[in-house]
Amino acid sequence: MSEPGKESAAIVLDCHDHGESDQIVTFYCRDIGRMTGIAKGAKRSQKRFVNKLELFSLLFIRYTEPRRGNLVFIVEAELGESFIHLRQSLPLYMAATVMRELVLVATLDLDGDDGLFSLLQWGLQSLDTGRPAMAVLALFQIKFFEQIGYQPNLSSCLRCNQPFGAAQEYGFDSRAGGIVCGACQEERGQSPVMPLSRGTVRILVSAQNQPLNRLHRLSLSGAGLREALVLLYAYGRHLLQREICSLKLLSDSSWQGYGQGATRRRFTDIATPRCAQ
Ligand SMILES: [Zn+2]
């Protein structure tokens, strides 16, 4: 690397052709956050960019800042990790796509957040090592909301402030972003809640409290995973004020893997009736 410029670790979130030979690439970078740049001649360059500017790849980029405009100039890129296994499995790839969409819609350009970079890297590595896609995605989301400053309140009832565990039944209010005890759910005039078992709350609280390298010790599967996915989908959609298209698509494609017979429904469908905007 002989040309001047700055360097950063960067994960590719988006990449598309620009003109005959250039590519426009959006990264999530360590230190810098979301950043978009132009890779001049990327489609012709065999050395500087070939097989590197792919979605989800972890790169080490060198770039220069423009005198005008927002696009940085990507001078060259070295491949850190291609996450090749997640590209060979549709469920893993789709789960990675959800992470990508959440990061793209919830961040601003050049608003660096090392925690979010580490979380995204953790999510991609977890998928790449073959961990169950939906469990990784649920754990990713619970940490993601915390990272962007909107950790759902799972420690006490939103309405009466009784600490979790004092009541037998709980639900989740996706609009207010927290749990509601059984007694408070019976009050009139309050927004509806979605059912949530105590066991699922405990696992999600554990996830909130664990560092990334210990998250895989949590067992999130079956009915608990389904509850978590419903809750997180509804909460994320309300928080971001938009449909999370990749998550909807993932739910549509994987719904046969959840539940039995009449109870078998897409987790996004379950969240939809009570949480429609
Ligand atoms: Zn209450």
Q: Is the pTM of this model over 0.85?
A: yes
What pLDDT, on the 0 to 100 scale, is given for residue 58? Answer: 97
In this structure, what DSSP letter does residue 266 have?
-
Q: Which tokens go with 60?
A: 């080490």
Mean pLDDT calculated for residue range 143-157: 96
Quickly count: other Cβ atoms within 10 Å of residue 186's Cβ.
8
CA of residue 106 relative to chain centroid, distance: 10
pLDDT of 42-58, one tens digit each?
A: 888 767 787 789 999 99
Mean pLDDT calculated for residue range 124-152: 95
Distance of CA 238 to CAs 120, 230, 271, Å?
22, 12, 11
Distance 233 CA to ligand 1 centre (A): 23
CATH code linked to domain 6-83:
2.40.50.140
Q: Which tokens go with 59?
A: 């790169």
Q: What percent of the chain has pLDDT over 90?
A: 69
CB 55 within 8 A of CB 4: no
What pLDDT, on the 0 to 100 scale, is given for residue 95? Answer: 94
Distance 235 CA to ligand 1 centre (A): 19
What pLDDT, on the 0 to 100 scale, is given for residue 271? Answer: 60
Q: Which tokens go with 113?
A: 């957040």
Binned at pLDDT 50, 70 and 90, residue 267 comes out as low
In the chain, CATH 1.20.1440 covers: 132-275
Distance 189 CA to ligand 1 centre (A): 14
Distance 168 CA to ligand 1 centre (A): 11
Phi, psi of 129 (to 5 degrees): -90, 5
Residue 87 reports pLDDT greater than 70: yes
Q: What kind of fold does domain 132-275 have according to CATH?
A: de novo design (two linked rop proteins) (1.20.1440)
Sign of torsion, CA 89 95 100 105?
positive
pLDDT of 151-166, one tens digit each?
A: 999 999 999 999 999 8
In the chain, CATH 2.40.50.140 covers: 6-83
pLDDT of 184-223, one tens digit each?
A: 998 877 778 999 999 999 999 999 999 999 999 998 989 9
pLDDT of 249-262, one tens digit each?
A: 888 776 544 433 33
Distance 197 CA to ligand 1 centre (A): 15
Residue at token pair 């997640």: 86
Residues 6+ apart with CB under 8 A from 142: 152, 204, 207, 208, 228, 232
Distance 101 CA to ligand 1 centre (A): 34
Could you tell me which residues are beta bridge partners of residue 93?
none
Q: Which tokens go with 231?
A: 């809750």
Counting Cβ atoms within 10 Å, is residue 118 exposed (0-12), middle (13-18) or buried (19+)?
middle
Summary mean pLDDT of the chain: 88
Among 244, 222, 247, CA closest to 94: 247
Distance 221 CA to ligand 1 centre (A): 27
Let me know how long the chain is: 277
For residue 27, give the 3-state DSSP assignment: strand
Q: Number of C-alpha atoms within 13 angstroms, CB side, residue 141? A: 28
104 vs 21: CA distance, rounded Å: 25
Among 43, 55, 52, CA closest to 17: 43
Please identify every residue whose CB atom is under 5 Å from ligand 1, which is an ion.
157, 159-160, 181, 184
What pLDDT, on the 0 to 100 scale, is given for residue 242? Answer: 92
CB 55 within 8 A of CB 14: yes
What pLDDT, on the 0 to 100 scale, is given for residue 259? Answer: 38
Element holding 38 (H helix, E strand):
strand 33-39
Helix runs in 40-112, H state only: 90-106
